Amino acid sequence: MADLETHEPLDLPGWLNDTALAKDPVESYQRALARPARRELWKYTPAHKITELRQLPAIQPSLSGHEQAGVTVTANPSNLDLADLISIQRAPEAFAQLCKQPLLHIAVTADLAQPLSLHHQGNSWPVIIDVAPSISMTLIEDCEQEDDQQQTLWLRLGANSAVTHARNSFGTTALHWQFVSVQVHTDGQYRLHNHALASTLRRQDTQIQLVGQGAHAELTSAVMVAERLNLDQQITIEHINAHTTSRQRVHNIVADRGKCTFNGRIHIHEGAKSSDAQLSNKNLGLGANATINTKPELEIYNDDVSCAHGATIGQLDDNQLFYLCSRGVAPTVARRLLCEGFLQQCVDGPLADTAGSALVAPLQDMEMT
């Protein structure tokens, strides 16, 4: 844990001077790094492996769909009001990245008929997307480069807006950090469809704040961890206002000698009356040396809530296996089918077609005995 205490000094960017964030940011940053809760977040993945990615040169992600009416892209804006969006306390590492690199701001002020796509060609500039009230859009992210890289993304959803966010991450050799922070205002709806293979180390941080009444978040995630690879997924959904709802379904398959960590925290604030949160995490271990760490967490500060959370770690179901075999399907093929079916339950959204085949590709090379 020694690496949790080490950090480089911050060079504060120009835009910070114009916001409330500028009040003692360095001190806030250092306090955030020292928080005991941070130890839990980095229990299974050395923080320095991620923070060192900050030293890599960053490039602007390639965009498509940004020429539609209602999309305004600004590189390195001089003044942005980010005080309510950026939290140094919640994510000091992401804040440091924001200070270090140039910034890409995207404002969306009209319904988008076509998806807005971010194609990461390596280590990317931080991206902030502001979605105006009552706007519907689809955001697509993919990254196929095998170089070490990181992406940090902040999304602010105006009242009544609806964003479907699909993300495919299929490189398997790189050290890769993906951070997304989402703020959903009154009656806004955010849906994240995450499909990922593990890599040398892939760390996915997802922080969702339901700040407006009636805000809703849904997260489906399918992850395949092949042999000797590693994926660490940290998800926090905060219900801050009343009548907010969230749904999470996360399915992970971990091959022999692979390692997968899932930490799903639901935080119901005092003001989040009549909130409803559900989280289900299922893990399938293939082989005696698969490592699976899972921790669904509930932190509730009012009585008027409905919450359900659960996590399972298991192996393939013998009854399902026998059923398939009783129809003539060889056990190796049957096991592969069952694994595909397990992941398929969480493959959804606009990238589902490409995700389904990429996620199961490692199964083709595995001995399914």
Residues making contact with other proteins (CB under 8 A): 317-320, 322-331, 333-334, 337-338, 340-345
Residue 77 CB neighbour total at 10 angstroms: 14
Nearer to other proteins, 14 or 341 (CB): 341
Tokens 């020694």 belong to residue: 2
Least CB distance to other proteins at residue 318 (A): 7
Nearer to other proteins, 89 or 345 (CB): 345
Least CB distance to other proteins at residue 197 (A): 18
Nearer to other proteins, 78 or 319 (CB): 319
Radius of gyration of the chain (CA): 20
Nearer to other proteins, 249 or 295 (CB): 249
Least CB distance to other proteins at residue 325 (A): 4
Q: By C-alpha distance, which of 315, 259, 255, 253 is closest to 291?
A: 259
- Burial class for 1, CB neighbours closer than 10 Å (0-12, 13-18, 19+): exposed
Q: Which residues pair with 254 in a beta bridge?
A: 225, 285
Least CB distance to other proteins at residue 95 (A): 39
Nearer to other proteins, 301 or 322 (CB): 322
Residue 264: alpha-carbon gap to chain centroid? 11
Q: By C-alpha distance, which of 52, 48, 126, 122 is closest to 85?
A: 126
Q: Alpha-carbon distance 267 to 290, whole Å?
A: 30
Least CB distance to other proteins at residue 365 (A): 19
Least CB distance to other proteins at residue 256 (A): 22
Nearer to other proteins, 301 or 323 (CB): 323
Least CB distance to other proteins at residue 273 (A): 33
Least CB distance to other proteins at residue 351 (A): 17
Residue 310 CB neighbour total at 10 angstroms: 11
- Burial class for 20, CB neighbours closer than 10 Å (0-12, 13-18, 19+): exposed
Nearer to other proteins, 195 or 203 (CB): 195
**Residue 362 per-residue DSSP state:** H
Distances (CA, A) of 77 to 74, 105, 133: 6, 7, 21
Which residues, 6+ apart, have CB-to-CB distance to 169 below 8 Å?
A: 142, 143, 176, 178, 194, 195, 196, 197, 202, 204
Nearer to other proteins, 149 or 281 (CB): 281
Least CB distance to other proteins at residue 364 (A): 15
- Burial class for 14, CB neighbours closer than 10 Å (0-12, 13-18, 19+): exposed
Nearer to other proteins, 42 or 342 (CB): 342
